[in-house]
Amino acid sequence: MNTPDELGFHRELQGSQIDTEWFSPRGEPRYLLNWRVSLVYQEAGQRQTFRGRVFDLSRTGFSLLSDHNLPVSDQVTVLISVPPMAAGQRPRILEVKSRVLYTVLSSEFQQFRIGVRFLDFKADGRRYLDANLAARVPAPVSTRRGE
Coil/strand/helix, residue 114: strand
pLDDT per position as a tens digit, 75-91: 999 999 999 988 999 99
Q: CB-based contacts of 1: which residues, under 8 Å, 6+ apart?
A: 102
> What confidence score (pLDDT) does residue 44 get?
77
pLDDT per position as a tens digit, 9-61: 333 333 333 333 334 455 789 999 999 999 999 987 889 999 999 999 999 99
pLDDT per position as a tens digit, 78-131: 999 999 988 999 999 999 999 999 999 999 999 999 999 999 999 999 999 999
Are 24 and 147 spatial neighbours (Cβ–Cβ below 8 Å)?
yes
> What confidence score (pLDDT) does residue 30 get?
93
DSSP 130: H
State which amino acid sits at residue 89: Q
How far apart, in whole angstroms, are the C-alpha atoms of residue 83 and residue 53?
A: 13
Whole-angstrom CA distances from 132 to 27, 58, 77, 82 are 19, 11, 21, 9
